[in-house]
Structure 1
């Protein structure tokens, strides 16, 4: 059941971002030593089991959770999220947590920019201005004129675009399907795709790394469970700005654990992106309240 306890919702969102940041750190560790596709495949096996367990405990069980009138869109959502995770974990290996998350933070701006063509929503000039400012921040991070990242710069940007499309399609299917149905399709379709790719890249893992894999699986499922509880506790528009805390949490882990560096242009660009993103969220909430 949903409620309207904003304080509880904010605390749950903060906890969610902390768990997801830890998950990203473990993903980076494992992907540096093993094939990315295998790591994502095992993670999805646990995620699918978690999703199916939740669905089986709901009224109507698995059959009711799987019922949808838009299976192709639901399946495409699952494919998008799986591909986004694979691409983002690859970014952690090549760019680290700090710079990957600094670029990935632009995904709310991409959602705002694409909400018109995908969902038919109106985007006013103020939000378009914020989107433009946000992408100035992306350019400051990437410094294309200096060739800082070369082709690697496109990796987290591609992940942000895929995650934005996933978010928009989640809104789209929510018009006719329940959240439980969308969650079920996300986990099951993702598991099938991850297995179809990852099974050809199997590698033996050491005992300690199997422990880290278990941690990855638990944090993945735990993070999604916390996110569900977050949106049950409070309105999405009230808690969504706090999702940006994943950027400093992940950056802190990158700096302290992986000895990454925070270059001035990355810090400045990330601040611009977050400020622009928060403005677009505020405008969207104001528009919703007016409606």
Structure 2
């Protein structure tokens, strides 16, 4: 995995103005990477949530996030490291962090009882919310071909979920809280994180989550077994890496373009769910995956043609 300093576009000394331009293919590539890293993160989270409170796992995710990032800022030195703390919108960055914390909390509560794939396919409706909200909030324009592609993708999500008995399994409602928070988080990343360096956005997102989760985790604390420590560390590392790639994706391309590529997480979620938890996807899952992937590709190819 590339480090933040492995390319001239993301070195700490690169002026934010030099990064403030759209590069659609880079945005798509970073979003695809984010999807894989999120699946790796959530596999670790689901494993830990079987024995520990999801609140404690959320805390570990954000504290690990901050330890990794703070260590890197110290490594950069006082000048460059302090420069990473400068933001054009401190309040906006904390709003981002709180929305991400909300999304993480809903997700981790859901992972305790639901398959990763089931949580994901419900959350895959977030690009539709992003597209709807990006029009008034970000002044983005979406053409009719893109609308059609998004509807097809949403149809794929419905096929993947299948019939659900909400009363028998109320936990299925948790991913909808995740969906709302995550859609707003993506939009706020595009709105407040565009003028700041990616590491700045990553720092404040982690800081907000670490502060709030640290305040409440004592009420949910369970002593951590020595053998589980590496998995807690892994969750922290994957939390930082997945958010960095998401930030870069939203920086380089409009939210309405890159968000649907998170649909491809369905492939990783099905694979990891089977390998680690024995979850066997239904045939409808693969039909939905085909529709979702086709919708994402169509969105990329038709961008700008019918505006």
Question: Which of 211, 219, 223 lines up with 1:204 in the alignment?
Answer: 223
Alpha-carbon distance, 1:186 to partner: 0.9
Q: Return the alpha-carbon distance in structure 2 between the equivalents of residues 51 and 135 of structure 1.
A: 36
Alpha-carbon distance, 1:102 to partner: 2.3
Alpha-carbon distance, 1:217 to partner: 2.3
Matched, 1:122 2:129: no
Within-5 A mapping of 1:171-250? 171-224=190-243, 227=245, 243-250=262-269
1:55·1:180 contact (CA, 8 Å) conserved in 2? no
Distance change >3 Å, CA 254–CA 185, structure 1 → 2: same
Matched, 1:2 2:2: no
Residue of structure 2 in register with 1:104 after alignment: 123
Alpha-carbon distance, 1:152 to partner: 3.0
Question: Which of 257, 267, 277 lines up with 2:276 in the alignment?
Answer: 257
1:16·1:223 contact (CA, 8 Å) conserved in 2? yes
Matched, 1:267 2:286: yes
Distance change >3 Å, CA 228–CA 145, structure 1 → 2: closer
Residue of structure 1 in register with 2:103 after alignment: 84
Distance change >3 Å, CA 161–CA 130, structure 1 → 2: farther
TM-score, length-scaled by structure 1: 0.80
Alpha-carbon distance, 1:17 to partner: 4.2
1:48·1:187 contact (CA, 8 Å) conserved in 2? yes
Residue of structure 2 in register with 1:42 after alignment: 60
Question: Which of 75, 87, 92 lines up with 1:68 in the alignment?
Answer: 87
Q: Return the alpha-carbon distance in structure 2 between the equivalents of residues 121 and 15 of structure 1.
A: 24
Structure 2 alignment gaps of length 5 or more: 1-7, 11-22
Q: Return the alpha-carbon distance in structure 1 between the equivalents of residues 218 and 38 of structure 2.
A: 25
Alpha-carbon distance, 1:258 to partner: 0.5
Question: Which of 24, 44, 54 lines up with 2:72 in the alignment?
Answer: 54
Which digits, 9 at most, give the CA deviation of each residue in 1:190-220, with x for residues without a partner? 1111212223211112222223212222333
Alpha-carbon distance, 1:94 to partner: 2.1
2:93·2:205 contact (CA, 8 Å) conserved in 1? yes
TM-score, length-scaled by structure 2: 0.77
SS of aligned partner of 1:66: coil
Q: Which has the higher contact order (CA 8 A, sep 6+)?
A: 1
SS of aligned partner of 1:121: coil
Alpha-carbon distance, 1:129 to partner: 2.5
Structure with the larger helix share: 1
- Alignment length (residue pairs): 284
Which digits, 9 at most, give the CA deviation of each residue in 1:127-173, with x for residues without a partner? 22233333333333344576597533332232122112111111111
Distance change >3 Å, CA 122–CA 77, structure 1 → 2: same
Alpha-carbon distance, 1:58 to partner: 6.8
Distance change >3 Å, CA 70–CA 158, structure 1 → 2: same
Q: Return the alpha-carbon distance in structure 1 between the equivalents of residues 77 and 160 of structure 2.
A: 45
Matched, 1:167 2:186: yes
